[in-house]
Amino acid sequence: MIRPPKVLFATSEMYPFSKTGGLGDVMGALPLTMHRQGIETAVVTPFYGRLATGGINLRLVTENCHVGYPWPPITAEIYMADYYGMQVFFIGRSEYFDRRLYYNTHHGDYFDNCERYTFFCRAVLELALWFGEAPVVLHSNDWQTALLPALIHFRRGWDNFWRNTRTAMTIHNLAFQGRFSSRLFESCGLPRDAWNMDGVEYYGDFNMLKGGIAYADAVTAVSPSYSREILTPEFGCGLEGILNKRARDGRLFGILNGADYDVWDPAEDKYLPANYSLENLEGKAICKKTLIHHFFMSDQLEDRPILGFIGRLRQQKGIDMLIDILPRLMEKEIGVMVLGEGNLEFEAKLWEMMEEYQGRLSVHVGYTEDLAHLIQAASDIFLMPSRYEPCGLTQMYALRFGAPPVATARGGLIDTIIPYPDPQATGFMFPDSEPELFYESICEALEVWEDREYWSNMVRRAMSQNFTWSSSAQKYIAMYQDLGAEL
């Protein structure tokens, strides 16, 4: 039996089924939290070839969902899963989604990304028709699903089915906009009226995220600080104009992400060799020892701080700044562990440095969920020198795992870390993306680390931080209600 959802989240990734970063984590937690708060919620996401089912059964609902894109209609398969009582729908079409990586290869984005996600969005509309009832709220996330608010905006004018649906558009990362040739606009299903500077047109190109921002009933960014930063030319990625317009209309909100402590809690983490908690931290030392042995790091590090970095090896994450200061850092009695993948040049540089600083610098290139957990647990200090950070989840996990972060004062990092020397400090923060400032901030953290008693209190404060999804979910629900959604 399929239940028509009141809130339908559309997303290009959802943990545990698919994930390349924080969006996957958010979609694995927020909808379910809302569902548990008593609102019938569902998620719709692509059926990728390498879907991790996590032992959950997927059921084929139909092989014949006709999607009017491109013309003539082609078919999508729809699968569904019961995810802890919440329905998750998967849109399948192997030529689009059966690929090892979701969005790109090492050589760049897939040439047909516009077609793939337009197809996905159009299939979401068909899915809703097939429910027989339109969702009260359709919530899109990032550019891949940003066409939906625009499609619904124009449909509401002539299609009663969609008349009462409210749309929300969440920006997880403004730098990725889904910008394509104007040629592709013609077949996406939007009317000509959408092609203007207040709509999807952007310097002569078709900009999907801009369309979502322009036509959604509410636009949200994933932290209050980021929702302010994106109004400036420095962080607005060229969309600050339309974002300011939405802000003036009172339609732009900043709602902080939560951390999913069902997945990220050292007291119960299934990936760790030993668990630990505020009451008993012994397991953290065992995790550290395991990491040291597994990665052939020097035994002496057991009594010295290990600095961890987990993230996409991209400029956004400031990995270049870490590379820049590593030679100086390595003069100190510390260990550094890096997990990430991305830019090939950064990967090569890190490998090269690992040779040079054998035993104290360990680099793991790849995307490895279990290792991410172990590094969080084994680290004493977590490095997050992001140039911008819409929210950032890894620093929230680091806090819970007792690894005070050293982070740039940007976006969600500002909203989640209390910087030293505040008496309530949970981490360290530097004001600008300068390697020198990053270096000084790490030096400060290392100095504080030497004061073992102070440090232990700081670790305890960090571990006591609680970024629950339930308070974020309530904020989204209140926002939907303000839009007139009857939930």
Regarding 29 and contact with ligand ADP (CB under 6 A), the answer is no
Regarding 292 and contact with ligand GLC (CB under 6 A), the answer is no
Q: How far apart are CA 325 and CA 318, in angstroms?
A: 11
Regarding 21 and contact with ligand GLC (CB under 6 A), the answer is yes
- Specify the amino acid at residue 426: T
Q: How far apart are CA 390 and CA 397, in angstroms?
A: 16
CB of 25 to ligand ADP, least distance (A): 5
Contact between 64 and 29 (Cβ < 8 Å): no
Regarding 145 and contact with ligand GLC (CB under 6 A), the answer is no
Q: Is 131 exposed, middle or buried (0-12, 13-18, 19+ CB in 10 A)?
A: middle
Q: How far apart are CA 426 and CA 418, in angstroms?
A: 5
How much of the chain is helix, strand and coil, in % rounded to 5?
Answer: 40, 20, 40
CB of 472 to ligand GLC, least distance (A): 11
CB of 101 to ligand GLC, least distance (A): 16
> What x/- string results for residues 169 through 198 when contact with ligand GLC is judged by CB under 6 A?
---xx-------------------------
Q: How far apart are CA 464 and CA 409, in angstroms?
A: 21
> What x/- string results for residues 312 through 341 when contact with ligand ADP is judged by CB under 6 A?
x--------------------------xxx
Q: How far apart are CA 394 and CA 391, in angstroms?
A: 9
Q: How far apart are CA 161 and CA 151, in angstroms?
A: 13
Between vectors from CA 230 to CA 224 and to CA 234, what angle results, nearest 5°? 130
Two tokens, residue 253: 């909100």
Among 23, 134, 321, 371, binds ligand GLC (CB under 6 A): 23
Q: How far apart are CA 327 and CA 331, in angstroms?
A: 7
Location of structure tokens 């028709």: 129
Among 76, 124, 230, 310, binds ligand ADP (CB under 6 A): 310
Q: CB count, 10 Å around CB of 233?
A: 9
Regarding 26 and contact with ligand GLC (CB under 6 A), the answer is yes
Backbone phi, psi, residue 76, to 5° = -120, 155
Residues 253-272 that bind ligand GLC (CB under 6 A): 257
Regarding 229 and contact with ligand GLC (CB under 6 A), the answer is no
Residue 341: contacted member of ligand GLC, ligand ADP, none (CB under 5 to 8 Å, by partner type)? ligand ADP
CB-wise, 76 or 417, nearer to ligand GLC?
Answer: 417
Among 31, 392, 404, 405, binds ligand GLC (CB under 6 A): 392
CB of 177 to ligand ADP, least distance (A): 15
Write the DSSP string, 441-483: HHHHHHHHHHSHHHHHHHHHHHHH----HHHHHHHHHHHHHHT
CB-wise, 39 or 255, nearer to ligand ADP?
Answer: 255
Over its C-alpha atoms, the chain yields an Rg (Å, rounded) of 23
Location of structure tokens 């983490």: 269
CB of 210 to ligand ADP, least distance (A): 21
> What x/- string results for residues 412 through 441 when contact with ligand GLC is judged by CB under 6 A?
x-----------------------------
Residues 353-372 that bind ligand GLC (CB under 6 A): none
The span of 16-24, 33-41, 237-245, 324-332 binding ligand GLC (CB under 6 A) equals 16-24
Residues 56-75 that bind ligand ADP (CB under 6 A): none
Residue 339: contacted member of ligand GLC, ligand ADP, none (CB under 5 to 8 Å, by partner type)? ligand ADP
Regarding 14 and contact with ligand ADP (CB under 6 A), the answer is no
Site size toward ligand GLC, by CB under 6 A? 14
Contact between 445 and 462 (Cβ < 8 Å): no
Residues 361-400 that bind ligand ADP (CB under 6 A): 367-369, 372, 391-394
CB of 367 to ligand GLC, least distance (A): 14
35 alpha carbon, distance to own chain's centre: 20
Backbone phi, psi, residue 337, to 5° = -125, 125
Residue 368: contacted member of ligand GLC, ligand ADP, none (CB under 5 to 8 Å, by partner type)? ligand ADP
Two tokens, residue 310: 């987990």
By the criterion CB under 6 A, which residues form the site for ligand GLC? Answer: 21-23, 26, 172-173, 222, 257, 389-393, 412
By the criterion CB under 6 A, which residues form the site for ligand ADP? Answer: 21-22, 25, 310-312, 339-341, 367-369, 372, 391-394
